[in-house]
Chains A and B, each alone.
Chain A
Amino acid sequence: MISWLLVMPIAIPFATAVIAWLARMGPAGRWISLFGSVLSLVASLALLMAVLENGVVAAQMSNWDAPFGITLVADYLGVVMVVITAITGLATAIYALGEIPERMEKLGYHALFQTLIAGVTGAFLTGDLFNLYVWFEVMLISSFGLLVLGGSREQLDAGIKYVALNLVSTLVFLSGIGLLYGMTGTLNMADLRGAVAAVENQGLVTVVAMMFLVGFGVKAAVFPLFFWLPASYHTPSFAVSAVFAGLLTKVGVYAMMRMFTLVFTGDIGFTHELLIWVSLLTMFTGVVGAAAQMDFRKILSFHIISQIGYMTLGLALYTPLALMGGVFYLVHHIIVKANLFLVSGMANKLAGSTDLNRIGGLYKSSPFLAVLFVVPAFSLAGFPPLSGFWAKYLIVKASIELEMWFVAFVSLLVGLLTIYSMTKIWGMAFWKPHPDGIEPTPDRVPASVRLPMMIPIVGLAVMTVVIGFFPEPFVQFARVSAEQLLDPGAYVTAVLGEGAAAPAEPAAATDAEPVTEPASETGGQP
């Protein structure tokens, strides 16, 4: 039964995509998509219950035993990402009711959107490295489609850059998989933990780890590999950019967290040290880039980059507290960033543009929207008592505990600069009068469009506030996730079964080579 709980969050979006595609010509498509998103949320909550009850759960697809078949695994980190994906998916599916025009629905918007959700969920649940690559591709191809859907000239321009750089990262990732398989003879992530530690030439492992770092780094948009993100995220429709902003880069961060706590832990002094500097530069360049922008969505895009730095920093510091902060940050940021993009879409509908020089007066005419902007914006900057405060607090505290003063200083400085950008948006879009003298009151948009666009914004803002005021259960959850990441014994046992698990240090899992294939006995001699 566990097996099907793991499958459902992936299978439901796929099924929804097929049905929504067949119904794309009529008005039914959007309701099917919405219904599918609700079902996905239910399924992922059921999975969450199962994980809370049993700890790490795993299932072997097609009855092929690990490490030969494809394993789906959900530990605390995996399952919380699945749930948050379903929440974001539902929020954007509701938003799309108001925003997505019929023309784009007929081109298959809902099918692509659901496929994207399926790909993201699959990436969070899989326990097999090559399968992760496949989910990345599912995600990538549907995001390509969504990015250029509608086909304005600007979108095509952005699409070229997005596609080009993401393909390069995919190929680097793929080569890394090939080399890793050549060294260890297995691709099951839990099995790799033992197999990688058993490799004689650890220097080579570090080289491969760097390839993974680059591959995931492009996806996660860390310094200096982030250029595709601000070049593309401001061009598609707002629902699409919200789901991109919320989820796509986080898949890269998640993959990094998974691989660099489970598999590549042999040379922490080098890999994680490097990651600290990468994170700091990511945080700083992102926030400085945002300061130079004058477009609502471009500012937000650069802030994605700077916030990604905090998450990778949580991984790089590699203490229980830091990882806990990283996990907390991951969840908090998906909610907040998706919400900010949704708000920018509403502002665009009301005031007519996302260029901050050409809009204004939103505070006076639509105070409710202004409040809904302030909540996620302040949360992003790290104001207490919103969710972002706790996320930043954990990271900064972790760096202070390690006596890395410079790291703590940069984290705080970036938080300060974030406030600068947010006040810029506030001042330009909400505070100053509209340059064309129009009053962007909510009535400018018909209620049938306004309502579905406002519901998810309100919902996500409420979630931010709730996490902010009652952080205790979420922090506890993040604590357990971090413990599981740092000591993946439970993960390995769940995947490989009792016998194969090496509690702390590997060496037991050397029977990784497929026994039925004599030729692979030469494995290990490159």
Chain B
Amino acid sequence: MEALTALIVGLLVAGSVYLMLARSFMRFLFGLILLSNAANLVIFASGRMTPGAPALVPYGADAPAGVVGNALPQALVLTAIVIGFGLLAFTLALAFEAYRRLRTMDTDKMRLAEPKEDGK
């Protein structure tokens, strides 16, 4: 299971790098989304893939009975997904606003805040 997850993470990162090398900011953003999912999977896998029960404590007990999954990475990954969702949604809104105002998604043409080049 770990090997498969590692492979998927690798594929996601490869895909995201490919997308992020594109000039269109939209593609860059899609690459970021893939990368964010790869990072989330890494955290999730770091808790070990066990075929255990959810980490719920029965009534009256102090610890869960039997083998349970590690709950901490799940909490971490949930937090990371939420934060990632917020940031990516903000970035999408920013990209949209930038497209409306700058009329381009081509990062090579986004040079308003850069120093003026000679001969242009």
A/B touching: CB–CB < 8 A: yes
- Which residue of the partner chain A has the closest CB to B68? A519
Tell me, in angstroms, the Cα distance from A168 to B20 when the chains sit together.
10
Distance A293 CA – B55 CA, assembled complex (angstroms): 58
Interface size on A, residues (CB 8 A): 50
Contact: B46 with A158, CB < 8 Å? no
A178 near B70 (CB under 8 angstroms)?
A: no
Q: Which residues of B contact A156 (CB under 8 A)?
A: 94, 97-98, 101-102
**In the complex the two chains form, is B46's CB within 8 Å of A160's CB?**
no
Contact partner of A514 (CB less than 8 A), chosen from B46, B72, B95, B107, is B72
Chain A residues positioned under 8 Å from B110 (CB to CB)? 157, 160-161
A177 and B43: CB pair below 8 A?
Answer: yes
Contact partner of B98 (CB less than 8 A), chosen from A134, A140, A159, A523, is: A159
The reply on A518 being an interface residue by CB < 8 A is: yes
Q: Once the chains bind, are B46 and A181 in contact (CB under 8 Å)?
A: yes
With A151-B101, A517-B70: A164-B114 Cβ-Cβ less than 8 Å: no
Residues of chain B in range 1-36 having any CB-CB distance to chain A below 8 Å: 2, 20, 25, 28, 32, 35-36
CB within 8 Å of A: which of B33-69?
35-36, 38-40, 42-48, 50, 52, 55, 62-64, 66-69
Nearest CB to that of A170 among chain B residues?
A: B87
Residue A115 interfacial (CB < 8 Å): no
Given A140-B87, A518-B67, A519-B67, A175:B38 Cβ within 8 A: yes
B94 contact from A144, A181, A234, Cβ within 8 A: A144
Report B-chain residues with C-beta under 8 Å of the C-beta of A148: 94, 97
Complex Cα spacing A157 to B97, Å: 10
**Chain A residues numbered 354-385 whose CB sits less than 8 Å from any CB in chain B:** none
Q: 1/0 per residue A508-526: CB within 8 Å of B? A: 0000001011111011001
Question: When the two chains form their complex, are residues A160 and B86 in contact, meaning their CB atoms are under 8 A apart?
Answer: no
Q: Which residue of B lies closest to A158 (CB)?
A: B113
Residue B87 contacts which of A137, A160, A517 (CB distance < 8 angstroms)?
A137
Are B98 and A167 touching (Cβ within 8 A)?
no
| Chain A interface (Cβ < 8 Å from any Cβ of B) | 130, 133-134, 137, 140-141, 144, 148, 151, 153-161, 163-164, 167-168, 170-172, 174-175, 177-179, 181-182, 187, 231-232, 234-235, 293-295, 298, 514, 516-520, 522-523, 526
Given contacts A151-B97, A164-B32, A167-B91, 12 further A-B pairs with CB under 8 A are A134-B83, A137-B83, A144-B90, A153-B101, A157-B110, A160-B95, A171-B35, A171-B39, A516-B63, A518-B68, A519-B69, A520-B47
> 5 tightest A-B contacts by CB?
A182-B46, A178-B43, A178-B42, A157-B112, A158-B113
